[in-house]
Structure 1
Amino acid sequence: MASSSSPVRPAVEYVEITAEAAGQRLDNFLVTRLKGVPKSHVYRLLRKGEVRVNKGRAKPEYRLAAGDVVRLPPVRRPGPEQASPRGRAAGLRLETAILHEDERLIVLDKPAGIAVHGGSGLSHGVIEALRAARPDAPYLELVHRLDRETSGCLLVAKRRSALRALHELLRNGQIEKRYLALVQGRWDLGQVKLEDRLRKTIRGGERVVTVDESGKAAASIFRPVEIRNIASLLEVHIMTGRTHQIRVQAAEAGHPLAGDERYGDREFNRLMKTLGLERLFLHAASIGWEDPASGEWRMYSAPLPDDLRAVLSRLEARGG
């Protein structure tokens, strides 16, 4: 009798594309369908013509249509229960961090310290951990991203149609995302809209974002919540979703984020460590949008984590 952890026995499969799956690229469909198979092998199968669409070769960027029949060649892939114990543990941790779930969507309160995707020396991230915890889930994809050290609201789509709809809202700036950030010093700018052009670059082998006229437009509204001399708590409403947007704009305004090792102030960060801050003080506090189907406003919020609340308490006790 075969072990339950044996690889799935390879066999040719023919998959008819449903309206739900229509519209996605062939390579993305294969990566999702052939869970556990390296991407390099998926692209090799495409190059060799072993994957067929309607009995013919197809390019990776081909957009699938409802009714297409995709031939999947025999390919060994690990059984779902082969996920690492660490990955399963992370998945179970995320299950307890679910703020809302329905048939189309999961809203997570992502803990700080876990990346949204595996890579860069990490064997798993949010999406890999969720898939390990739910091996029978037919579809789980990130709607957007959060930095590894940022906690708070993160959306995961359970259906391709939900992902498409939410991506459309994101492109049109129709999803409202608000963050809580602790910044250096006394914030005397009041409520202000900061607009910059941000460009990704490599500096000293590390990816950084700089203000550059050749970059992409970024806009955020910074509103003071609690102003102190040492540090000020702000609510930030981002109107675009550029990499490190809040961190770079706050630093450019002369008020870098507490705990920001990349764009922040070293002495300020040392001071914040004495108050117990062990990571970036940035939390995705809420996310909301108008549901295209029902017209209802959907809003989800994640409370400030205990570690960040404790920092604020110590700041107050110090007369910050």
Structure 2
Amino acid sequence: MSVEKELSSREGEQTAKVYFVNIDEDTAGQRIDNYLMRILKGVPKTRVYRIVRKGEVRVNKKRVGADYRLQSGDVVRIPPVRVAEASAPVRPADKVIAQLEKSVLYEDDQLLIINKPSGLAVHGGSGLSYGVIEALRQLRPENRTLELVHRLDRDTSGCLVIAKRRSMLRHIHNLLQQKGKVEKLYHALVVGKWAARKQLVNAPLLKNVLQSGERMVRVHIDGKKCRTAFRVMERFPNMTLVEAYPITGRTHQIRVHCLHAGHAIAGDEKYGMDEDNQSQRQFGLKRLFLHAASIQFELPDGRLLKVEAPLPDELAGVLSVLRGK
């Protein structure tokens, strides 16, 4: 058993000795605080920061800050620390397991891309026992380093990328920081007649949290720069199917930019009008009509990977009704 596996398995025990961990290429690039919280399961976050601050954790025999990024070849000293017994993870519902098992669009030894179902959050928290990543970790226990590469809103379906290795996670994150290196395309059904000439929405977005705890995003001059390109795909009476290409990557970007353009996304209960959402039920729409249709980027070996996610049946059915089929 490796040192990392031994540490993460010692629930409810006091590690009675000092451990020395050699950092490999897959672990390199990770912050020391995040690394420690991952392998010291059950140790409170405050305790992790305390042992780093007091110098009990050393890298190459030297003190480091919590924000130090590990490098391949580093030797990390981990002091004796009590690992609290963790509660058993909540098992995902059988329906969720079945959905995820048939949602795989692409997989190799470093990467997993799924067609995320609508209604399933990408990770647990905020009252949710689990999300996609927690469910996948239970379904794929042999893949101990599964990590989300990016996020999708809970109600959005489509291409979601999960890295199996830290090296792949770093590779795609590096691409995401470069303009045009990762191409994401979304399909959205919006309210009203989208003008063909409206091909770019350039409006800064600002996040804020309401007293209820709900996170909202709005266009504001003090927000972060944000741009989304649009193309009309198909027109219906008082509705338009558009293709959205986010040039930047902000929270709720496409939803808020559509609203700013005067065309809320159909079925959007957060930013849309209640009367519009109610009337759209006559077409069989019971969810947000936003779908991550494809993603494209270059793999480390130089090959270009493009993965497409078919439109879910419930959204395809809405379009069939609108087309009169």
TM-score normalised according to structure 1 size: 0.88
Q: CA deviation at 1:262?
A: 1.7
- Pair 1:159 & 2:188 matched: no
Tell me what 1:227 maps to. Answer: 235
Give matches, 1:82-121, under 5 Å.
Answer: 82-86=88-92, 90=96, 93-121=99-127
| AA of the residue aligned to 1:271 | S
Give matches, 1:280-291, under 5 Å.
Answer: 280-291=288-299
- Pair 1:237 & 2:237 matched: no
Tell me what 1:295 maps to. Answer: 302
Structure 2 residue corresponding to 1:304, chosen from 288, 305, 311: 311
Cα separation, 2, equivalents of 1:89 and 1:265:
31
Tell me what 1:259 maps to. Answer: 267
- Say if 1:43 and 1:60, in contact at 8 Å, map to a contact too: yes
Structure 1 residue corresponding to 2:147, chosen from 141, 150, 157: 141
Q: CA deviation at 1:175?
A: 0.2
- Say if 2:42 and 2:83, in contact at 8 Å, map to a contact too: no
SS at match of 2:173: helix
Q: Deviations over 1:1-25 (max 9, x none)?
A: xxxx994765443210113322221
- Say if 1:53 and 1:68, in contact at 8 Å, map to a contact too: yes
Q: Deviations over 1:248-283 (max 9, x none)?
A: 111111110011112112211111122222211100
Tell me what 1:185 maps to. Answer: 192
| AA of the residue aligned to 1:116 | V
Counterparts in 2 of 1:41 and 1:135: CA distance versus 1, 3 Å: farther
Structure 1 residue corresponding to 2:276, chosen from 254, 265, 268: 268
- Pair 1:19 & 2:25 matched: yes
- Say if 2:268 and 2:277, in contact at 8 Å, map to a contact too: yes
- Say if 1:179 and 1:285, in contact at 8 Å, map to a contact too: yes
- Say if 2:182 and 2:296, in contact at 8 Å, map to a contact too: yes
Q: Deviations over 1:80-106 (max 9, x none)?
A: x93322278745642321111111111
| AA of the residue aligned to 1:42 | V
- Say if 2:232 and 2:241, in contact at 8 Å, map to a contact too: yes
- Say if 2:90 and 2:129, in contact at 8 Å, map to a contact too: no
Tell me what 1:175 maps to. Answer: 182
Specify every segment of 5 or more residues in structure 2 that has no aligned partner in the other structure, as ranges: 1-8
Cα separation, 2, equivalents of 1:160 and 1:6:
23
Cα separation, 2, equivalents of 1:135 and 1:10:
25
More displaced 10-residue stretch of structure 1: 61-70 or 98-107: 61-70
Structure 2 residue corresponding to 1:76, chosen from 58, 78, 83: 83
Cα separation, 2, equivalents of 1:185 and 1:252:
13
Cα separation, 1, equivalents of 2:184 and 2:199:
16
Tell me what 1:197 maps to. Answer: 204
- Say if 1:91 and 1:126, in contact at 8 Å, map to a contact too: no
Cα separation, 1, equivalents of 2:232 and 2:278:
23
Structure 1 residue corresponding to 2:217, chosen from 209, 226, 229: 209
Cα separation, 1, equivalents of 2:10 and 2:93:
18
Q: CA deviation at 1:131?
A: 1.4
Specify every segment of 5 or more residues in structure 1 that has no aligned partner in the other structure, as ranges: none
| AA of the residue aligned to 2:226 | A
Cα separation, 2, equivalents of 1:272 and 1:39:
46
Tell me what 1:59 maps to. Answer: 65
Give RMSD over aligned pairs: 2.5
Q: CA deviation at 1:310?
A: 1.3
- Pair 1:34 & 2:43 matched: no
TM-score normalised according to structure 2 size: 0.87
- Say if 1:176 and 1:288, in contact at 8 Å, map to a contact too: yes
